[in-house]
Chain A
Amino acid sequence: MLVFFFLLVCAVLIEVIFLQSFFKPGFIAPDIVLFLLLTKAYFHGRQTLLWAVFSGVLLDLLTDTVGLGITTQVFSLYFFLLVMERFLFRTALTFLATAGLTLLLKKILVLFLMKMKFSFEFSVGFLITSWIIELILLISMYFIYLRRYEQA
């Protein structure tokens, strides 16, 4: 639990650094925190929701957008858990398809919420590219770490 706490804080900091320096607007940035939450949720289920609330609050305080992080993190994880619980079997495809869809949904949700308050240039190409990079990371993470751990 302490290790996960440490990892989560690190992930939030990395994401903040990404958001503040490399990608503007932020929905383009790779969603490292959500990666971690999805991994945790894959093994530990519903109790991960509290971690999502914590990470969302921390992210909000660090990026001066109170509310955005909590809403999107919790909604994404909630969606992921509800879908995962519907599957009778856990396979690579069920996890990857659900997680991939969750990541895309989160990006679109952030974009929607940001557009409600701010005006900025939006590029579909960037959004899709960022999502594809996330998918590649997700697939790598599943086959390198999650699957091995699952078998053990």
Chain B
Amino acid sequence: MTNRKFHTIALLSIGLGFILFILDFSDISYVKKISNAVNTLTSPILKFKEQITSELKEEIGAYFHRVDVEKENIKLRKRINSLLLTEKELEACLSELNKLSKKIKLKDKFRKLKYSISRVVYYDPSGFDLFIIINGGKDKGFREGDLVVTEVAVVGIIEAVFGTTSRVITPLNENFSSSVVISGKRKKYIYKGGYPTGDLLHVNVEDKVKKGDKVFFSDPKRRIPSFLIGQIVQVERGENPFFRKVKVKPAVDPRTQEYIFVIGR
């Protein structure tokens, strides 16, 4: 390429390009048609790129999800191992207890609890947490009145059993009522649910009940252990001169629960 030709081509191209850009040459219909035709040729590549990008995003998302699941699995495996150890210890305690009861000629036998693990699938949309819906119903053999608990506290009582789900009323529900005892006392009371606090019924004026006392579930057949229901938050003189007005704050927030135990009565 000669010296003159080189400079001419370069300067002409720069000048022409600048003018075309300033005059919006790309907006002219003929140019647009050419541009569209060229774009049609390249569109499969752009589509392919879009596809690759979306697939890659999905793959990366799935990978991170899997990593999270793996971590969760490791945690759960550790927890299961420790629980298995605890179970062995408890079995040993139970056999010791049986031996002791035989020696002192106790008639009561320690029976194993029949329970199932279930998952909460729906919460009360009103926000008052009056009920929850759990996985499992008639298919799992759940019955009305079965107790729903966490490891330590009562979540509720099964009110209605459907095919594959059950409706559980919580201690915040007015329809919830149960026999209870106060920690360190033998006298039984009735707990009646309510929002945000439930009531302890028929607490005599002379009963020594104070704020902070824990309220436990009481099974008349003495088969189900004493799960925590709540804590006394208020003790007042009631409308009836013979009884006190005692308010109990439920221990479990139903919305924080995911997996629960259902104990058959």
Contact = CB atoms under 8 A, between A and B. Distances in A.
Contacts of B10: 49, 74-75, 77-78
Given A46-B1, A62-B39, A74-B17, A67 B22 contact: yes
B42 A68 contact: no
A61 interface: yes
B46 A17 contact: yes
6 contacts: A49-B9, A56-B17, A66-B20, A66-B25, A70-B17, A78-B14
B26 interface: yes
Given A61-B34, A64-B26, A56 B21 contact: no
Chain A CB within 10 Å, residue with most, of B1, B21, B25, B32: B21
Nearest to B9: A49
B85 interface: no
B16 A70 contact: yes
Contacts, number: 85
Nearest to B1: A46
B36 to A, nearest CB: 9
B117 interface: no
B14 A75 contact: yes
B21 A53 contact: no
Contact of B38 (A61, A65, A67, A77): A61
B14 A74 contact: yes
Interface of B: 1, 6, 9-11, 13-14, 16-26, 31-32, 34-35, 38-39, 42, 45-46, 49, 53
A71 B17 contact: yes
Contacts of A113: 18, 21
A47 B18 contact: no
Contact of A60 (B14, B26, B53): B26
A21 B45 contact: no
Given A13-B42, A53-B9, A67-B20, 20 more contacts: A16-B42, A21-B53, A49-B13, A50-B9, A60-B26, A61-B35, A61-B38, A61-B39, A62-B35, A62-B42, A64-B32, A65-B21, A65-B26, A66-B35, A67-B19, A67-B23, A67-B26, A74-B10, A78-B11, A78-B14
B67 to A, nearest CB: 26
Contacts of B23: 67
Nearest to A61: B38
Contact of A71 (B21, B39, B53): B21
Contact of A69 (B11, B17, B32): B17
4 smallest beta-carbon distances between A and B, as pairs = A67-B21, A67-B20, A70-B17, A71-B17
Contact of A64 (B11, B13, B35): B35
A67 B46 contact: no
A64 to B, nearest CB: 5
B11 to A, nearest CB: 8
B80 to A, nearest CB: 46
B6 A71 contact: no
Contacts of B26: 60, 64-67
Contacts of A61: 34-35, 38-39
A70 B49 CA distance: 26
Contacts of B49: 17, 21
Contacts of A129: none
A71 B45 contact: no
A16, A64, A67, A116 pick with most chain B CB within 10 angstroms: A67
Contacts of A94: none
